[in-house]
Structure 1
Amino acid sequence: MIIRSLLDTDLYKFTMMQVVLHQFPAAEVEYRFRCRTSGIDLAPCLDAIRAEIDALCELRFSEAELDWLRSLRFMEPDFVDFLGLFRLNAKYVQLGTAPDQNGGIELIVRGPWLHTILFEIPLLAIISECWFRHLQPQPDLSTARARLRDKMAMLKQFGDDACRIADYGTRRRYSADWHDELIVMLADTLGPRLAGTSNVRHAMIHGLTPLGSMGHEYLQACQALGPRLRDAQSFAFDRWAHEYRGDLGIALSDTYGLDAFLRDFDLYFCKLFDGARHDSGDPFVWGERVLEHYQQMRVDPTSKSLVFSDSLTIPRILELNRRFRGRTRLAFGIGTNLTNDAGPTPLNIVIKMVRCNGQPVIKLSDDPGKVMADDPSYLAYLRQVFDVPASERT
């Protein structure tokens, strides 16, 4: 059994889920799977994936897990009580072969947002681990251990004491067992240089800080849930602030591209939110532009945080740290390169929301390869509304 706890997911799934319960409980959504890695055929893994999904849907939150969630000051009692009754339901998942699809399978999750939001991360972790079990029935983690030791040594040797990393690698990890071992190695070796983890189960077990705020699906859903499309991003930020009243104040910046983000991230939001997260495009350009924006808004950049989380490696983290240290607060969330560097090529897989309340929803991104749209006319309309040239996002 790959997923042994419903806490084995990213914190931001719970923080978004609480907003859904309180503000959008009737929303209906659809998610679709995509494998961006060429030459992959996941069809031989279908039976194993189905069995893992059935096992996932038997899980419930334990009382100890619920008590730990209650200890987080931003988790409301009624939400944790709801989780005490919650379980995932396989009826919302459609899985089958799709020879013409990249990856050889079709995976659709469709149903109430409140009851489907927790599927994404465990499903991706299941698919990734089933694939690597198929490739390597007898896994050898010696390469993974050696590479991790090298990364930790590099961080300690060249990074200053304030250069800290966080584990963001649940969704595309090599295996759950390797993730367990890796967290212990990181905590024992890095000490305070390990800022925390996005994985809620590991945060609970190892006494680490759970990290995360909002994801793209939340801002995408607001395309259908807000008063008008042009205000979808501002509406999302406003509803988030209404829910958390100053907690979890990191705004995701690339759902509509950086230009649109900076237009919407006015003085009010600059002061209200603690910082912004980078997840696509050139991180150096992004950092310079966000810091310049704070200065234009007459907000002290050193009082704010830049969170980098897009395809990070230790050398890239050290470069970013050298560029921006002393100019702002910095945070680095490292994912696949941390939890799936065991030898075989990791899968570049995603599950993205594509519809909300029957309407198409799209993430434009600052990386053309991350755009996932099944409605070209709506994509063109969204570009027009947010003034994003088609040539930059195709």
Structure 2
Amino acid sequence: MIINSLLDTDLYKFTMMQVVLHHFPGAQVEYRFKCRNEGVDLVPCIDEILDEIDHLCTLRFRERELEYLRSLRFIKSDFVDFLGLFRMNKKYVTVAPSEKGNGEIDILIRGPWLHTILFEIPLLAIVNEVWFRRAARIPDYAEGRRRLDEKIALVTGNPELAELRIADYGSRRRFSRLWHEEVLLECKKKLGAHFSGTSNVLYAMQHGVLPLGTMAHEYLQACQALGPRLRDSQIFGFEMWAREYRGDLGIALADVFGMDAFLRDFDLYFCKLFDGARHDSGDPFEWGERLIAHYEANRVDPRTKTLVFSDALTFPLAIELFMRFRDRAKIAFGVGTNLTNDLGYTPLQIVIKMVRCNGQPVAKLSDTPSKNMCDDEAYLQYLRQVFEIRS
């Protein structure tokens, strides 16, 4: 089966889940799946996807896995105790052909946030691997290895890049579980000090690398429904995060309402409180310049802060960004699809996004409009008005 451990997911799922347990245990949410590729027929994959979900819902955290989580400084003991009782429940997930009849499928996840938050990453990994079992029945691993070696050589062969650090963020859109592990081990071996870690908690535990991650879009989206008022929802989300982690996990996500809205809310207090911010949409060079200028305007030395780039990164783009910003801030890179699904086939651009919380629409309005996802146009317009988003 594709998923054989509940740790086979991204770290930020656990960091957000801990906040949910401690602060929003009664929240009810809804997530929806979307494939951004045109002409991809996923309907023949449904039965296999459902079989994989059945297996996923039989898994429990093993004692070794719980002890590993307990060893992480920012994971609290009561949360690990909860995970010891936790099991995913397939009653919260439905998979069916889209009513459009064009090969798309509808995946709906609906239920308590605390009990549905872990579905996203394994479900995306399942859809990917099931699809590529059909689309690439005899995978060209030789080509994948050639491409990987070529990328690694770009970094290791240049002394100017001695401080460049790259992490694996590729769990959700990987070609397969086995290929993901091979890529990670090759990066650990050949990149050496250039390899900073992985978002995948299972591989971090098994292979002795650093697990990486803080928050995802769903956290700040849910705060639109959970905070005192919509206009303050981003501030509320950052405050609750700081209350939970007390200085740990200090990378803020910058693009749930776009960069303009982020900078309005990310005042001197948050500039000093958080270690940095993560870019996930829009022009990365413009984003970096604006964030550095914002730190300087707030009398904060940007060289003490971390800029994390994670949007559709390739190795050449990471190198270009590093050369632009290396002497002006701390720079980190998380490479996803281009690292774990680059064997010469067109990768699936699939996402699962939260669309409702406590019955209320929630949305992401990023600086890349194609990434926006909401099922209520009236709410989107209201959100734009409240956060003064003109595009």
Shorter chain as denominator, the TM-score bin is: over 0.9
1:301 aligns with 2:321: no
Q: Name 1:237's counterpart in structure 2.
A: 238
In the TM superposition, what is the alpha-carbon distance from 1:138 to its structure 2 partner? 2.7
Q: Is the 8 A contact 1:311 1:336 kept in 2?
A: yes
Q: Name 1:178's counterpart in structure 2.
A: 179
Q: Name 1:161's counterpart in structure 2.
A: 162
Q: Name 1:47's counterpart in structure 2.
A: 47
Q: Is the 8 A contact 2:234 2:265 kept in 1?
A: yes
* Structure 1 residues 1-394: aligned runs within 5 Å: 1-100=1-100, 104-158=104-158, 160-389=161-390, 392=391
SS in 1 for 2:157: helix
SS in 1 for 2:34: strand
Measure, in 1, the Cα distance between the counterparts of 2:308 and 2:232.
24
In the TM superposition, what is the alpha-carbon distance from 1:18 to its structure 2 partner? 0.1
Number of equivalenced pairs:
390
Measure, in 2, the Cα distance between the counterparts of 1:22 and 1:103.
40
In the TM superposition, what is the alpha-carbon distance from 1:137 to its structure 2 partner? 2.3
- 1:224-268 CA deviation, whole Å, 9 max, x = no partner? 000000000000000000000000000000000000000000000
Measure, in 2, the Cα distance between the counterparts of 1:61 and 1:142.
35
Letter in 2 for 1:280: S
Measure, in 1, the Cα distance between the counterparts of 2:66 and 2:102.
38
Instruction: State the TM-score, normalizing by the size of structure 2.
Output: 0.99
Consecutive unaligned residues in structure 2, runs of 5 or more: none
- CA change 1:41–1:251 in 2 (3 A) is same
Q: Is the 8 A contact 2:97 2:103 kept in 1?
A: no
Letter in 2 for 1:298: R
Measure, in 1, the Cα distance between the counterparts of 2:281 and 2:101.
24
SS in 1 for 2:189: helix
Letter in 2 for 1:70: R
Measure, in 1, the Cα distance between the counterparts of 2:185 and 2:319.
23
In the TM superposition, what is the alpha-carbon distance from 1:101 to its structure 2 partner? 6.8
- 1:182-210 CA deviation, whole Å, 9 max, x = no partner? 11111111111100000000110111110
SS in 2 for 1:139: coil
In the TM superposition, what is the alpha-carbon distance from 1:99 to its structure 2 partner? 5.0
Q: Is the 8 A contact 1:38 1:102 kept in 2?
A: no
SS in 2 for 1:310: coil
SS in 2 for 1:380: helix
Measure, in 2, the Cα distance between the counterparts of 1:379 and 1:103.
27
Measure, in 2, the Cα distance between the counterparts of 1:302 and 1:136.
45
Letter in 1 for 2:189: D
Letter in 2 for 1:263: R
Measure, in 1, the Cα distance between the counterparts of 2:165 and 2:99.
43
Moved more, 204-213 or 131-140: 131-140
Moved more, 198-207 or 139-148: 139-148
Letter in 2 for 1:293: H
The root-mean-square deviation of aligned C-alpha atoms, in Å, is 0.9
Q: Is the 8 A contact 1:36 1:102 kept in 2?
A: no
Letter in 2 for 1:115: H
SS in 1 for 2:363: coil
Measure, in 1, the Cα distance between the counterparts of 2:149 and 2:355.
39
- 1:70-108 CA deviation, whole Å, 9 max, x = no partner? 000000000000000001000000110115177511100
User: Structure 1 stretches (4+) deviating beyond 6 angstroms?
Assistant: none
Measure, in 1, the Cα distance between the counterparts of 2:294 and 2:359.
36
Q: Is the 8 A contact 1:213 1:249 kept in 2?
A: yes
Measure, in 1, the Cα distance between the counterparts of 2:214 and 2:38.
31
Q: Is the 8 A contact 2:166 2:333 kept in 1?
A: yes
Q: Percent identity?
A: 66
Measure, in 1, the Cα distance between the counterparts of 2:265 and 2:103.
37
Instruction: State the TM-score, normalizing by the size of structure 1.
Output: 0.98
Q: Is the 8 A contact 2:13 2:118 kept in 1?
A: yes
Letter in 2 for 1:138: I
Consecutive unaligned residues in structure 1, runs of 5 or more: none
Q: Is the 8 A contact 1:34 1:103 kept in 2?
A: no
Letter in 2 for 1:342: L
Letter in 2 for 1:82: F
- 1:302-346 CA deviation, whole Å, 9 max, x = no partner? 000000000000000010000000100000000000000011100
Q: Is the 8 A contact 1:33 1:351 kept in 2?
A: yes
Moved more, 83-92 or 135-144: 135-144
Letter in 1 for 2:371: K
SS in 1 for 2:9: coil
Letter in 2 for 1:269: F
